[in-house]
Amino acid sequence: MLTVEKIGGTSMTALHDVLKNIIFFNRSGDELYNRIFVVSAFSGVTNLLLENKKTGAPGVYHLIANYQDFHSALNDLIVQLQNLNKNYVDLGLDLAAADQFIEKRVRDAQNYLENLVNILASGYVSQEGILQAAREILASIGETHSAFNFTNILQDKGINAICIDLSGFDDHQSYTIDQRIKEAFKNIDFGKTICIVTGYAKGTEGIMREFDRGYSEVTFSKIAVAVKPQEAIIHKEYHLCTADPMLVGLEHCKPVGFTNYDVADQLADVGMEAIHPKASKPLEINNINLRIKNTFEPEHPGTLITQDYISGEKRVEVITGTEKVLIIDIYDPLMVGNVGSDLQIMQVFFGHGVSYSFKATSANSISVVIWEKDFKQKLIDELEEKFEKVTVEKAAMVCIIGSNIDQPGLLARSATGLANEGINIKSCGFSLRKVNIQFVVAREDFAKSIIALNKAMFF
Cα angle 73, 75, 78; round to 5: 110
Concatenated DSSP letters of 173-209: ----HHHHHHHHHTT--GGG-EEEEES----TT-HHH
Pairing of strands 365-371, 161-164: unpaired
Question: Tell me, what's the pLDDT at 53?
Answer: 82
- What is the C-alpha to C-alpha distance for residues 425 and 209, in angstroms, rounded to an integer? 38
Question: Tell me, what's the pLDDT at 72?
Answer: 96
How many residues belong to the chain? 459
CB 5 within 8 A of CB 196: no
Phi and psi at residue 40, to the nearest 5°:
-85, 170
Count the alpha carbons within 13 Å of 310 in the hemisphere toward its beta carbon.
8
Amino acid symbol at 328 = I
Nearest to 345 by CA among 384, 303, 375, 403: 384
78: three-class secondary structure by DSSP: helix
368: three-class secondary structure by DSSP: strand
137: three-class secondary structure by DSSP: helix
CB 219 within 8 A of CB 144: no
CB 260 within 8 A of CB 307: yes
- The helix or strand, by DSSP H or E, that contains position 220, with its residue range, turns out to be helix 215-227
C-alpha distances out from residue 343 to 338, 347, 350, 377, 384, Å: 11, 6, 10, 20, 16
Nearest to 256 by CA among 272, 280, 270: 272
Say what angle helices 95-122 and 71-85 make with each other, to 10 degrees.
Answer: 160
Nearest to 357 by CA among 261, 241, 244, 268: 268
- What is the C-alpha to C-alpha distance for residues 134 and 140, in angstroms, rounded to an integer? 10
Amino acid symbol at 283 = L
CB 93 within 8 A of CB 149: yes
pLDDT in tens, the chain (459 residues): 899 999 999 999 999 999 999 999 999 999 999 999 999 999 999 999 999 887 888 999 999 999 999 999 999 999 999 999 999 999 999 999 999 999 999 999 999 999 999 988 887 777 888 999 999 999 999 999 999 999 999 999 999 999 999 999 878 888 999 999 999 999 999 999 999 999 999 999 888 887 877 899 999 999 999 999 999 999 998 899 999 999 999 999 999 999 999 999 999 888 777 788 888 999 999 999 999 999 999 999 999 999 999 999 999 999 999 999 999 999 999 999 889 999 999 999 999 999 999 999 999 999 999 999 999 999 999 999 999 999 999 999 999 999 999 999 999 999 999 999 999 999 999 998 889 999 999 999 999 999 999 999 987
* pLDDT, tens digit (0-9, with 9 covering 90-100), for 185-199: 999 999 999 999 999
Across the strands, what pairs with 325?
A: 371, 395
CB 140 within 8 A of CB 169: yes
SS3 content of the chain, % helix, strand, coil (to 5): 50, 20, 30
Question: In b/e form, how buried is each residue of 326-364, taking b as 16+ CB within 10 angstroms?
Answer: bbbbbebeebeeeeebeebbeebbeeeebebbbebeeeb
- What is the C-alpha to C-alpha distance for residues 259 and 196, in angstroms, rounded to an integer? 28
- CA diameter of the chain: 75
Say what angle helices 446-458 and 410-420 make with each other, to 10 degrees.
Answer: 130
CB 371 within 8 A of CB 396: no
